[in-house]
Amino acid sequence: MEEGCSLNRANCRSKGGSAGFKVAILGAAGGIGQPLALLMKMNPLVSVLHLYDVVNTPGVTADISHMDTGAVVRGFLGQQQLEDALIGMDLVIIPAGVPRKPGMTRDDLFNINAGIVKTLCEGIAKCCPQAIVNIISNPVNSTVPIAAEVFKKAGTFDPKRLLGVTMLDVVRANTFVAEVLGLDPREVDVPVVGGHAGVTILPLLSQVKPPSSFTQKEIDYLTDRIQNGGTEVVEAKAGSGSATLSMAYAAVKFADACLRGMRGDAGVIQCAFVASQVTELPFFASKLRLGRTGVEEIYPLGPLNDYERSGLEKAKKELAASIHKGISFVRK
């Protein structure tokens, strides 16, 4: 027997207790879930990390729990442990559900993922209705409205606490724009508004920071690459899934922003898909300020050029249908 195995764990001094937030990841054993769990275990703002999935959480939890960082990690396996995974959580991140294969749209995932997100949100409404919820599961343009309807039915809906994660679109946009401009991507900030699928992903290149101008050819290239970044990865992975590593990076960047807002940091601004009055649609992704209670301010779109105005009309048409589909799924 290895040295140390004979140590009775019950005799160990209790671990943890550092101040910080309690975070749950639902779908924690998946392609996104595992690197997301790894990165959240490294986040000093996290004191407790709950890893929930319907498969493989004991192994992932044992593995991650050996990292010598502050967060205490606990694993939860299967529907019967969902409530224990959720009780007391401040932030719940949901990457549960199936990913795309080549030739599929995100909407093709609706039939499976809608039910998964609905069940998980029913658990949140029951066990941690005050938690901030980050939805990653696709199609985000429909799963966020599904979550909202579940919370409305339960009487717990707070639009400030429900956020669809579109951070990967911003991460990609910063990367691709930086490549074109010959800059460090960390110096570039591209607002991406609308939603998270094809033409609903609307980069506002006229508002890039630092202020930059682009040729029409560059605008066409960048818009197409940002809108189809997910498909680029799905095709490169050739049937084994969609973006997982860049998504885990983006999810952690976004979750960290939520936690910094919850801590009371000033000026925490990110884009996300939320209940919104920025357009006539009930949900829309745009720049917003995160604070102690979640979304504290949603910013208007700002001046758009003709190209962006036309993109916005296309985005709104597709978004309206996806939002309606999500709402109808719960109201049916």
Ligand X SMILES: O=C(O)C[C@H](O)C(=O)O
Ligand Y SMILES: NC(=O)c1ccc[n+]([C@@H]2O[C@H](COP(=O)([O-])OP(=O)(O)OC[C@H]3O[C@@H](n4cnc5c(N)ncnc54)[C@H](O)[C@@H]3O)[C@@H](O)[C@H]2O)c1
List residues binding ligand X (CB under 6 A).
Answer: 99-100, 106, 138, 168, 196, 229-230, 233-234, 242-243
Burial class (CB within 10 angstroms; exposed 0-12, middle 13-18, buried 19+) of 89:
buried
97 appears as a binding residue in the annotation:
no
Return the number of the residue (120 or 177) whose C-beta is nearest ligand Y. 120
Query: Does the annotation flag 138 for ligand binding?
Result: yes
32 binding ligand Y? (CB under 6 A): yes
- 256 backbone dihedrals φ, ψ, rounded to 5°: -65, -40
Q: Which does 233 bind (CB under 5 to 8 A by kind): ligand Y, ligand X, none?
A: ligand X
By CB under 6 A, tell whether 98 contacts ligand Y.
yes
194 forms bridges with which residues in the sheet? 201, 285
Q: Which residues contact 21 (CB under 8 A, 6 or more apart)?
A: 45, 46, 47, 48, 90, 91, 259, 262, 263
Is 324 designated active site?
no
Of ligand Y, ligand X, none, which one sits near residue 54, judging by CB under 5 to 8 A according to partner kind? ligand Y
53 binds ligand Y, rule: CB under 6 A: yes
Q: Which C-beta is closer to ligand X: that of 127 or that of 168?
A: 168
**Is 37 a binder of ligand Y (CB under 6 A)?**
no
Angle subtended at Cα 87 by Cα 81 and Cα 92, rounded to the nearest 5 degrees: 90
Q: Is 31 marked within a binding site? A: yes
Binding of ligand Y by 57 (CB under 6 A): no
Residues 325, 238: Cα–Cα separation, whole Å = 29
Site stretch for ligand Y (CB under 6 A), options 10-18, 136-144, 172-180, 217-225 = 136-144
φ/ψ of 317, rounded to 5, equals -60, -50
**Phi–psi pair at 247, nearest 5 degrees:** -70, -40
Q: Per-residue DSSP letters for 265-318?
A: -S-EEEEEEEE-SSSSSSEEEEEEEEETTEEEEE-------HHHHHHHHHHHHH
Considering the complex, what minimum distance in angstroms separates the CB of residue 275 from ligand Y? 17
Q: Give least dist CB 303 to ligand Y, A.
A: 27
Q: Could you give the residue numbers annotated as active site?
A: 196
The residue ranges that bind ligand Y (CB under 6 A) are 26-27, 29-33, 53-55, 95-100, 109, 113, 116, 119-120, 136-138, 140, 165, 168, 196, 241-244, 247
